[in-house]
Amino acid sequence: MAPGVGIKEVAREAGVSVGTVSNVINRPESVSEETRARVLSTIERLGYVRQESARQLRAGHSRIIALLVLDMANPFFVDVARGAERAAREAGLGVMVCNSAQSPEEEADYLGLFAEQRVRGVLMTPADMTGRNLASFRRQPIPFVLVDRVLPSAEGCSVSVDDVTGGELAVRHLLGLGHRTLAYVSGPMRLAQCRDRREGALRALREQGLGESALRHVEVERLDVTSGRDAGARLLGMSPRPTAVFCANDLLALGVLQSLYGAGVSVPGEVALVGYDDIEFAAAAAVPLTSVRQPAFRMGRMAAELLIEETGERAADHRHQRIVLQPELVVRGSSLVRSRGRAGGPR
């Protein structure tokens, strides 16, 4: 592409006005077919690329949606991004995906960048549970939608999954198989998902007349496979060892599975295992993983659709919504052996 080619050069080479070139780019139906063809040929020959930043300033908004997620190494967020991207493409928009790496500091930096770039809107899964980053960003005239988080509808839109129900489904399944000594492996409890999934687990225990002591809690710093392996090592050192483990996501569960397998512990023969998210790798694990499925693609798509509505031609009719989707338990081989021992004893 020739350096410095602008709309004036295109107009001069095509023998038309700057306004005509602008119409060919933005309102082609308003230009005759002959003139349009001549201008487009000139654009292609000169290698002209429209300066989006200048168009943005004139229009007052961008064609780019920002998506800020906790961890792009987690396939769950990849599926969320795919859903958001699909909705954006159908609306003629693009998506810029950024990764906070579960860091409130990196999240704040990205939110500042989004404000500087005047993005059309932001889809985000907050890493900062104090709410300070979001409160600061609210001062910007940029709409946002929370993904995988609940937000009071009066403050904005959110699309999430009922994680309390998800935790309840997982542990009710394990209790139904006869397990009475369980463990919950979670990421940092400052994350709402980790807290809500534990609350659901405790709710299932209470249904069976069991107290909180029946659920040992192993908290790790990150929601990844490496942290899952570390949690697995801690579980192996417990006495008596829990006969069932519920993990706050599938990456943790896969790490636990690796630790147990490496120590010669049979899954599900000696320890039943349940994950959360139902990522693609769950079904492909050495022992196919029972998991609580979240509709990640649908969540991303719905969140993007809400943002597009709020920033589009019908923005005046937009009403904030809080959408809560329901999870689903997908049972596979990692939990299928029925426990036969006495409550609390080895199985």
pLDDT score of 56: 52
Question: pLDDT confidence of 230, banded at 50, 70, 90?
Answer: very high
pLDDT score of 339: 46
Distance, in Å, from the CA atom of 260 to the CA atom of 335, rounded to the nearest integer, reads 14
Report whether pLDDT(285) > 70.
yes
Distance, in Å, from the CA atom of 183 to the CA atom of 242, rounded to the nearest integer, reads 6
pLDDT score of 337: 67
In this prediction the pTM is: 0.77
User: Which residue, among 296, 304, 299, has the nearest Cα to 89 in the 3D structure?
Assistant: 304
The pairing of beta strand 290-293 with beta strand 328-330: antiparallel
Is-contact 106 100, C-beta < 8 A? yes
Which residues lie closer than 8 Å to 68 by C-beta, 6 or more apart?
Answer: 98, 99, 100, 107, 110, 111, 114, 122, 123, 124, 125
Helices (H), 163-236: 163-176, 192-207, 225-236
Q: Which amino acid is at 335?
A: S
pLDDT score of 52: 53
The DSSP annotation for 215-230 comes to EEEEE-SSSSHHHHHH
Lowest mean pLDDT among 65-79, 161-175, 325-339: 325-339
pLDDT score of 2: 43
Q: pLDDT per residue over 74-104, tens digit each?
A: 999 999 999 999 999 999 999 999 999 889 9
User: Mean per-residue pLDDT for 232-259?
Assistant: 96
Is-contact 80 297, C-beta < 8 A? yes
Q: Which amino acid is at 276?
A: Y
Distance, in Å, from the CA atom of 63 to the CA atom of 219, rounded to the nearest integer, reads 41
Is-contact 221 227, C-beta < 8 A? yes
Q: pLDDT per residue over 200-216, tens digit each?
A: 999 999 999 999 999 99
Is-contact 337 176, C-beta < 8 A? no
pLDDT score of 4: 59
- The more confidently predicted of residues 128 and 159 is 159
Report whether pLDDT(226) > 80.
yes
Report which DSSP code applies to 159: E
Q: Which long-range contacts (CB under 8 A, 24 or more apart) does 107-114 make?
A: 107/68, 107/133, 108/133, 108/136, 110/66, 110/68, 111/68, 111/136, 111/137, 114/66, 114/68, 114/142
Distance, in Å, from the CA atom of 38 to the CA atom of 33, rounded to the nearest integer, reads 9
Question: pLDDT confidence of 140, banded at 50, 70, 90?
Answer: confident
Distance, in Å, from the CA atom of 207 to the CA atom of 137, rounded to the nearest integer, reads 41
Per-residue tokens: 188? 């940092």
Average pLDDT, the chain: 89
- The more confidently predicted of residues 341 and 318 is 318
Q: pLDDT per residue over 19-50, tens digit each?
A: 898 888 878 888 899 999 999 999 888 877 76
Distance, in Å, from the CA atom of 62 to the CA atom of 55, rounded to the nearest integer, reads 8
pLDDT score of 317: 83
Report whether pLDDT(338) > 60.
no
101: left (phi over 0), alpha (psi -120 to 50) or beta: left
Cα-based angle 48, 51, 111 (whole degrees, multiple of 5) = 145
Question: pLDDT confidence of 153, banded at 50, 70, 90?
Answer: low
pLDDT score of 57: 44
Report whether pLDDT(13) > 80.
yes
Report whether pLDDT(128) > 50.
yes
User: Mean per-residue pLDDT for 293-302?
Assistant: 96
User: Mean per-residue pLDDT for 222-249?
Assistant: 95
Is-contact 259 252, C-beta < 8 A? no
- The more confidently predicted of residues 315 and 222 is 222
Percent of the chain with pLDDT strictly greater than 70: 91
Helix/strand/coil percentages in the chain, nearest 5: 45, 15, 35
Is-contact 171 275, C-beta < 8 A? no
- The more confidently predicted of residues 51 and 325 is 325
Is-contact 228 256, C-beta < 8 A? yes
Question: pLDDT confidence of 146, banded at 50, 70, 90?
Answer: very high
pLDDT score of 277: 95
Q: Which amino acid is at 293?
A: R
